[in-house]
Amino acid sequence: MTSPSDFDCQTCGACCSYSSDWPRFSTESDADLDLLPARFVAANEQGMRCEGERCSALAGRVGSHTSCLVYDIRPDVCRACLPGDEACLIARRAFGMSAPAFVP
Ligand code: SF4
Ligand code: SF4
């Protein structure tokens, strides 16, 4: 049994690179969305801009060291994805990572 604290998102980044359909805007207010730098927003303004399947706001290398460049103002769907949940595990498996992130 794993818990969210078993996962280290800063050595992962899989869920931010799994699908361009994932970082979609949903329940954010217009004021919240206005805070996002335009370079990270998709042309249709429906979600984060992605390069391939990877969110443009993800910095670093997946599976090694990653960070979200808009962490404090990230979309609600990103806040809803919890380490160890189903989406997390799907994304991690796609990148060949089992759970938890730092099994010795
Ligand atoms: S896939 Fe899971 S462990 Fe990896 S960054 Fe996303 S929430 Fe964190
Ligand atoms: S906004 Fe941040 S948390 Fe959300 S998908 Fe992009 S890099 Fe990941």
**Which pLDDT tens digits describe the chain residue by residue (104 residues)?**
567 777 899 999 999 999 999 999 999 999 999 999 999 999 999 999 999 999 999 999 999 999 999 999 999 999 999 999 999 999 999 999 986 654 44
The structure tokens 């949903």 sit at: 26
Give residue 98's pLDDT: 82
Give residue 14's pLDDT: 98
Q: Residue 97 contacts by C-beta under 8 Å, 6 or more apart in sequence?
A: 12, 14, 63
Mutate to test the pocket of ligand 1, among 3, 6, 9 (most ligand atoms within 8 A of CB): 9
Residue 9 alpha carbon to ligand 1 centre in Å: 5
pTM here is 0.92
Collapsed DSSP state (helix, strand, coil) of residue 40: helix
Mutate to test the pocket of ligand 1, among 2, 5, 15 (most ligand atoms within 8 A of CB): 15
Judge whether 15 and 91 are in contact, CB under 8 Å: yes
- Domain ranges for the chain: 4-94
Give residue 100's pLDDT: 65
Give residue 104's pLDDT: 45
Q: State how far the Cα of 8 lies from the Cα of 39, in Å rounded to an integer.
A: 27
> Tokens standing for 82?
């919890």
Q: State how far the Cα of 81 lies from the Cα of 87, in Å rounded to an integer.
A: 7
